[in-house]
Amino acid sequence: MTHSHLDQRILPETGRLPYALYRAEQVQRFDHLASGYFGIPERELMERAGASAYRFLRQRWPDARHLCVLTGIGNNGGDGYVLARLARGEGCTVDLIQVGDPQRLQGPAAESRDAYCAAGGKVDIWSGSLPRGLDLCVDALFGTGLTRPVGDPFAAAIAALNEQQAPILALDLPSGLHADTGEVMGIAARVTATISFIALKLGLFVGSGPEYRGEVQFSGLGVPARLYASEIAAAVRSDWARASTLLPHRSPLMHKGDCGHVLIIGGAPGMAGAVRLAGEAALRAGAGLVTIATHPRHADWLNLARPELMVQGVMDARDLEPLSARADVIAIGPGLGQDAWGRGLWEKVCTLAHPLVVDADALNLLAASPMNGPDWLLTPHPGEAARLLGVSTAEVQRDRVVAAQTLQAHFGGVIVLKGAGSIVQANPPRRPVVCSQGNPGMATAGMGDVLTGIIAALRAQGLAAEDAACAGVCLHAAAGDRAAASGERGLIASDLIAELRTLADGQDAVL
């Protein structure tokens, strides 16, 4: 076996992350294929994993000299031993702390431990605390093999990692994070960066993954590209750089009638802002015409507040007919309320054949009287998804991919499950798409209304429902990231609207 850790072929791939996301069992099959079929011994893969991680560490933290490597009892720990050996070899001070019974290390992990010891490395057994004065901690406790909630001593070690001040590099996954769902299995390491091996794990991008993983780096460990043909990815990551390619071309000869007419229905008394946000977002996402059907009490005021919006007061469902006749797409829900006014409009819309975007209170009305719609696009946040499914919000969040798939099966159409790592699920066999942009500053009032307007505008410009959902979610998230450049705290939904224009025009697709 060659210790080819400085071989250029195994350096972490720089540039873009792959878009395919896999579950743990799929990555385990890749591992077996790599060794069994492609003849790369497991020990060599581990050597490459440790070496890639060490190379990334040196690039990312060039001044780090005093490292602490926390190793567990599986192959993730083995990766840690390789990294520790390489770091010592380059003159770093390494405190290697073995958590759990060292006798449980087997096969390549035990060999990696032995190679570390043979090179003069010392193994300390976890004694309840971490050394002081560290430049960096390496989390090599659990990777894809985590199968159950974390108990002591691992839980105590993870808690200590989270409490100390040095940055943390996680090998493959932050320990304690479920590789498939991003669920925190009791406790998880909240890390500065994660280097993921062979394939990106779905759990880094869904559930609590975005909160715990830090920045993500990928290393394919030099396995042949055709290895990946053996599995269909569990989900596909998307971002604006990718989704912007879905936008329709705008011909110089176009007029406003070619860019689609969106009708937005909502805005019960006291909720006019919701439809205004959705309407403005629709205009900024390129809709040719936007009409708002809202409560008569504030229709005139809304019209003056944003003169480019056409605003009609509607008393009841009958008033909708002339408006819907002119619209290409209807979005219903922002500020709709659930009383007789909102319910009447919702029931009317359900009889129309238009492509629909269904949000907010319209989703709550749908939860009260469930039905299946072939050409609608539902945009629930986790609470609305829970009401639609009749489960708790925690249950939705525990496995967001499965929740989105269940919603699609029950209600049809295309589902956008909002939240960190928004998921788009169209009719199977289409795979779930997970948006990997966005930030916590976006957890604020009106963000959903902006998304509804964007998706409706893209749909009105001719995108199919799934494409409008994917492009809309990514455009919204990318606008949120741009707006957050001047601070996440205090970000408001209106801040996104100015950003939409630059992004949707394609001038700044790559962030």
What single-letter amino acid sits at 369? S
Per the listing, tokens 């990318």 go with 478
Taking the least distance from each CB to ligand NAX, the nearer of 37 and 301 is: 37
361 annotated as ligand-binding: no
Ordered strands of the 168-171 beta sheet: 123-125, 93-98, 66-71, 136-140, 168-171, 193-197, 215-219
The 3-state secondary structure of 399-434 reads CHHHHHHHHHHHHCCEEEECCCCCEEECCCCCCCEE
Residue range at the interface with ligand NAX (CB under 6 A); choices 72-80, 90-98, 162-170, 330-338 = 72-80
Q: Is 183 in the site for K ion (CB under 5 A)?
A: no
Strands 66-71 and 93-98: parallel
Taking the least distance from each CB to ligand NAX, the nearer of 75 and 238 is: 75
- Residues 66 and 68: their CA atoms lie apart, in Å, by 7
Residue range at the interface with K ion (CB under 5 A); choices 63-71, 170-178, 202-210, 338-346 = 170-178
Taking the least distance from each CB to ligand NAX, the nearer of 197 and 228 is: 197
Taking the least distance from each CB to ligand NAX, the nearer of 172 and 280 is: 172
- Residues 192 and 169: their CA atoms lie apart, in Å, by 6
Strand partners of residue 377: 357, 414
CB 426 within 8 A of CB 229: no
- Encoded one letter per residue, x for contact with ligand NAX by CB under 6 A and - for no contact, window 184-223 reads -------------x--------------------------
Contact residue for ligand NAX among 26, 52, 71, 75 (CB under 6 A): 75
Of 3-32, binders to ligand NAX (CB under 6 A) are 31
420 annotated as ligand-binding: yes
Please, what is the minimum distance in Å from the beta carbon of residue 96 to K ion? Answer: 14
Q: Is 143 in the site for ligand NAX (CB under 6 A)?
A: yes
Please, what is the minimum distance in Å from the beta carbon of residue 347 to K ion? Answer: 52
Q: Is 248 in the site for ligand NAX (CB under 6 A)?
A: no
CB 225 within 8 A of CB 199: no
Contact residue for ligand NAX among 42, 280, 449, 499 (CB under 6 A): 42
What single-letter amino acid sits at 245? T
449 annotated as ligand-binding: yes
- Residues 401 and 237: their CA atoms lie apart, in Å, by 12
Residue range at the interface with K ion (CB under 5 A); choices 107-115, 175-183, 310-318, 418-426 = 175-183
- For residue 170, the partner it binds in ligand NAX, K ion, none, with Cβ less than 5 to 8 A by kind, is K ion
Contacts of 154 (CB under 8 A, 6+ apart): 72, 99, 100, 141, 142, 175, 176
- Residues 446 and 334: their CA atoms lie apart, in Å, by 9
Collect contacts of 392-399 with beta carbons under 8 A, ≥24 apart. Answer: 397/207, 398/181, 398/183, 398/207, 399/180, 399/181, 399/183, 399/207
274 annotated as ligand-binding: yes
Please, what is the minimum distance in Å from the beta carbon of residue 485 to K ion? Answer: 30
What secondary structure does DSSP assign to 94-117, as a single string? EEEEE-S-GGG--HHHHHHHHHHH
Taking the least distance from each CB to K ion, the nearer of 170 and 434 is: 170
Residue range at the interface with ligand NAX (CB under 6 A); choices 42-50, 130-138, 274-282, 330-338 = 42-50
Contact residue for K ion among 139, 328, 467, 495 (CB under 5 A): 139
Please, what is the minimum distance in Å from the beta carbon of residue 271 to ligand NAX? Answer: 46
Q: Is 74 in the site for ligand NAX (CB under 6 A)?
A: yes
Cis preceding-peptide flag for 429 (omega within 30 of 0): yes
CB 4 within 8 A of CB 48: yes
Taking the least distance from each CB to K ion, the nearer of 154 and 376 is: 154
- For residue 42, the partner it binds in ligand NAX, K ion, none, with Cβ less than 5 to 8 A by kind, is ligand NAX
Strand partners of residue 124: 97
- For residue 72, the partner it binds in K ion, ligand NAX, none, with Cβ less than 5 to 8 A by kind, is ligand NAX
Contacting positions for ligand NAX (CB under 6 A): 31, 42, 45-46, 49, 72-79, 142-151, 154, 171-172, 197
Contacting positions for K ion (CB under 5 A): 139, 170-171, 175
Where is the binding site for K(+), in residues? 76, 139, 175
